Structure 1
Amino acid sequence: MQKGDQLRGAHYLGAATIAEIVQRAGGRTAIAGTKTVSLLHDRKVSPAQAQQSVTLFSGATLPGTALASIARELGVFPESGRLPDAAQNDWTTRALTGSLWKEGVPEFSLLWLSEPDRSEHADAPGSETALAAVTSSDRNLAMILRVLESKGVREQTNILVASDHGFSTVGRAIDVRALLRAAGFKVIVDGEVATQSGDLRVVGNGGTALFYVAEHDGATIRAADRVAATNRLRRRDFLASSSGWNIPSLRRAFTDRECRRRGDVVSLDRSA
């Protein structure tokens, strides 16, 4: 992410995050996440604006000097063990409410936990592991509320609880790479490098397939889209999920101009 900011003039993200906006206004922030994704919320693009703010991510910190005091109080960041991953989430929550809030609760804080996301990906929604993960997150939320209460700021604090996505049951999978290879496309996989124009990489992302075509070859993109829109990928080949959604065919056609502007992405869009 920092490399992306360097290459794009501090614009890896298209807009400033809440933490960065608060810092620009002179406020202090505290970001704590079990996963490295918490870096997205404060990439320390302008260090001068973030002198009193700390980002904790997967047991590391920006600035790096902030980690020593956390480690003295809590020990090292736990290894990821059996699911649910309660130890890492508990450690991160205690780091936020203890070390990062020691001098008072900042104007903006964010806590990013890996559960129940990690357990539900690995197991299933409603499983014993997933329910234990939800209990773990509830326990950490309760810790946040208790500390805010003890510091006398709970009634003055807006608390938002959010998730990045939900879960649904997938009844059938389709091997998009195999279909494209059978149609004559050169599909490259992880570890392989495109060697010529038109080499096609397919990246799965949940209920979505992303197509990336070497050198943005428009003819290959349009041909791949036609293959994806055949009956083999139409709606009847997918079972309705538990939420009642269906996944229609890959149906977006791209012109050469669109490929240059938006990249070579063909998605499986969800419709109600």
Structure 2
Amino acid sequence: MRFFTHSRRWVFLTLFVIAVIVACTASPGKRSGQTTQQQATQHNMIIFVADGLRPTWINATDTPSMNEIRERGVKFTNSHSLFPTFTTANASAIATGHYLGDTGDFSNTIQVNAPVKSAKNSLVPFLENNAVLQEVNKQFGANYLNEQTLLEAARKSGFSTAAVGKIGPVLIQDVTLQKGEPTIIFDDATGTPTGISLSSEVSEQLAKNSLPTAAPSRGDNGKPGDSKTPGTKVANTTQQQYFADVTTKVILPMFKQRQKPFVLVYWSRDPDGTQHNHGDSLNQLVPGINGPTVQAARQNVDKNLAQIRTALKDLGLEESTNIFLTADHGFSTISKESKTSYSATLSYPEVPKGFIPPGFVAIDIAQELKLPLFDPDNKNATVDPSIGQFSKNSVIGKDPKKPDVIVAGNGGSDLLYLPNAANKKATAKKIVDLLLKQDYVSGIFVDDSLGEIPGTLSMEAIALRGAARTPKPSILVNFRSFDTGCGNPTACGAELADTGLQQGQGMHGSFSRADTFNTMAAIGPDFKQDYEDLAPASNADVAVTIAKVLKLKLSTQGKLVGRVLNEALVGGSDNIQYKSFTLKSLSAANGLKTILKYQTVGKTRYFDVAGFPGRTLGL
């Protein structure tokens, strides 16, 4: 009996020693599957959105802070924007964890139920505006997204919450916010009649730190130039420095003092705004968005992020705060050249000869249908392309108050609505037949109710059909994209774009891999270290992953949701199975097919590229 007891003690002692040795020598190497358990204390979260940042332009020289997060934390190398690849669309996904078929934020400019007073009484408002968002909310049950946002769930659970930066996507992060609620909002409109009011607590801290209560404008960075005058040659330094100072000198110290967990969304306008407006490449595809002004914009956003990380360290919050870095979309250089568009055969005072004007899709459709064209952003004024007129958005029909077609011009893709057409299927078929003849088109998606039209795929195939409250587009037209030849296609893509900006400036919105390939990385106590995640990930995964990390429950209406990125979390299994698929439409009469390439993890879909063969970069 004594021998048995003695032997058992030695066994227990030996196992204990082995466990200690293993614990002390384990290394969190590449794809290590770290197993350290999360601390019992509640952690914080910062979602840092570098608007329009292309992942292949992150490096140790220009963007050392972002590069460190990606290399020391989790690097999502198979990352995705949602399509259409626009800001408010992806902001809705980052906010809620739902695909666009549920949020109804199909692009930056969408059709709504009634004219929006704060958008010049337009039926197709541009959503990057607080007054517009609040008015659109009222049209759709006080929440046009129809889903709860992460920030709303966090503040209702007792977290401190804030959203700072670019107007539009910032308010979308807590879109049901009403006056007097606790989420702190700073954006371009702060200090103006359309800004979200600041509490006395915040105002006092601004004064204490000698910071104004009104956000500065973009200044010269906001000047896009025109067809004869180059755009900006400076990054958005002044405005973004204000937002960085507000975050580090006011918001984070307040959160520290409250001694409560927090969630903060910081939405950096750079490099997006500078890529849109830059003046390095007027009417030229090269260098396009890869000139010195955009390089300065990347450095600017990294400087802001570095300032936030330093503040976390100085406040003793670094060890308890996760940072999730993402971009709403990639970016491309604008092309305005078409050999088939009727619009390109006309002359316009503000458009170089032979280039397509803003609104070219609507001009071509109106010509094909032999119907008048009107401008919904200008009291439905008549638009006559034959005398050099065009409009950003368009209403087509004999009566502008009962249009056959509404065109929401967005950039790398456009939305077409058929609200009052006598025979929607016949009208849709005529429009599709026209679009199939255009060299600027690369892929067409149609509403499922219109039936199967050869050459097109359904909206359902790309998760644009769900529980959305907003009107559903009838046709989505994707524009042609191509490589400008720098040796790095996703960093040097170009696309035809329906925009008032010039050839050589920047745009996004297409189904090119240059636009769907966004930046994603994470670092902090809940994320693995030195880990490269090869599984597909997207902006729809951000909110649901963070909700799990912070132990928050997101209420849902629709079923088109992202997945929890378990493999990136401490203790999560590395064994994530994913598959690749190709979906092809029926052939059109001219042989064109819309082809979609996507990946899946379980039932979650990740859209890589789509379009016609040879007309979409990455297809």
What is the CA–CA distance in structure 2 between the aligned matches of 1:178 and 1:131, rounded to whole Å? 36
- Offset from partner CA, 1:8-30 (integer Å, 9 cap, x none): 22321132111111112111111
- 1:29 to 1:256, Cα distance in 2 relative to 1, 3 A: same
Please point out which of 407, 419, 428 is paired with 1:202. 407
Deviates more, 1:175-184 or 1:88-97: 175-184
Mapping 1:99-248, distance limit 5 Å: 99-105=250-256, 106-123=261-278, 124-171=288-335, 172-173=337-338, 175-183=360-368, 184-189=370-375, 190-193=377-380, 195=399, 197-215=402-420, 217=422, 218=424, 219-229=426-436, 231=437, 233=438, 237-238=439-440, 248=442
Q: Is the 8 A contact 1:225 1:253 kept in 2?
A: no
Alignment of 1:58 onto 2:268: no
What is the CA–CA distance in structure 2 between the aligned matches of 1:202 and 1:265, rounded to whole Å? 10
**Where in structure 2 are there 5+ consecutive unaligned residues?**
1-132, 222-234, 279-287, 342-359, 381-394, 452-458, 460-464, 479-509, 512-609, 611-618
More strand by share: 2
Shift of 1:41: 0.7
What is the CA–CA distance in structure 2 between the aligned matches of 1:87 and 1:206, rounded to whole Å? 27
- Offset from partner CA, 1:216-250 (integer Å, 9 cap, x none): 54143332223222x2x2xxx25xxxxxxxx5243
Indicate the percent of aligned positions where both proteins have the same amino acid. 22
Deviates more, 1:212-221 or 1:89-98: 212-221
Paired residue for 1:23?
155
- Offset from partner CA, 1:178-227 (integer Å, 9 cap, x none): 32232123333342535254443323222212213342541433322232
Paired residue for 2:506?
none
Q: Is the 8 A contact 1:228 1:251 kept in 2?
A: no
TM-score normalised by length of structure 1:
0.81
Alignment of 1:264 onto 2:450: no
Paired residue for 2:446?
252
- 1:163 to 1:216, Cα distance in 2 relative to 1, 3 A: farther
What is the CA–CA distance in structure 2 between the aligned matches of 1:228 and 1:252, rounded to whole Å? 12
What is the CA–CA distance in structure 1 between the aligned matches of 2:418 and 2:410, rounded to whole Å? 17
Mapping 1:5-24, distance limit 5 Å: 5-24=137-156
Identify which of structures 1 and 2 has the higher relative contact order when contacts are C-alpha pairs closer than 8 Å and 6+ apart: 2
- 1:223 to 1:128, Cα distance in 2 relative to 1, 3 A: same
1:108 maps to a residue whose letter is V
Runs of 4+ deviating beyond 4 Å? 256-261
Shift of 1:71: 4.9
What is the CA–CA distance in structure 1 between the aligned matches of 2:445 and 2:334, rounded to whole Å? 20
Paired residue for 1:243?
none
In our comparison, the structure showing a higher alpha carbon Rg is 2
- Offset from partner CA, 1:91-147 (integer Å, 9 cap, x none): 011111111223234510111111110110112422111111111101100000000
What is the CA–CA distance in structure 2 between the aligned matches of 1:137 and 1:10, rounded to whole Å? 33
How well do the aligned residues superpose, as a CA RMSD in angstroms? 3.0
Shift of 1:54: 1.1
Shift of 1:266: 2.7
Instruction: Report the secondary structure of 1:101's partner residue.
Output: helix
Paired residue for 2:107?
none
- 1:68 to 1:265, Cα distance in 2 relative to 1, 3 A: farther
Q: Is the 8 A contact 1:225 1:266 kept in 2?
A: no
2:253 maps to a residue whose letter is K
Deviates more, 1:176-185 or 1:12-21: 176-185
- 1:97 to 1:198, Cα distance in 2 relative to 1, 3 A: same
Instruction: Report the secondary structure of 2:186's partner residue.
Output: strand
Shift of 1:47: 6.3
- 1:119 to 1:111, Cα distance in 2 relative to 1, 3 A: same
Deviates more, 1:91-100 or 1:3-12: 3-12
Instruction: Report the secondary structure of 1:210's partner residue.
Output: strand
- 1:166 to 1:15, Cα distance in 2 relative to 1, 3 A: same
- 1:216 to 1:100, Cα distance in 2 relative to 1, 3 A: farther
Instruction: Report the secondary structure of 2:474's partner residue.
Output: coil
- Offset from partner CA, 1:38-89 (integer Å, 9 cap, x none): 11112354668x43x3111215153433563365221242232123111001
Alignment of 1:82 onto 2:195: no
Q: Is the 8 A contact 2:365 2:431 kept in 1?
A: yes
Deviates more, 1:209-218 or 1:146-155: 209-218
Shift of 1:170: 4.1
What is the CA–CA distance in structure 1 between the aligned matches of 2:407 and 2:274, rounded to whole Å? 26
Deviates more, 1:187-196 or 1:4-13: 187-196
Instruction: Report the secondary structure of 2:444's partner residue.
Output: coil
What is the CA–CA distance in structure 2 between the aligned matches of 1:165 and 1:157, rounded to whole Å? 25
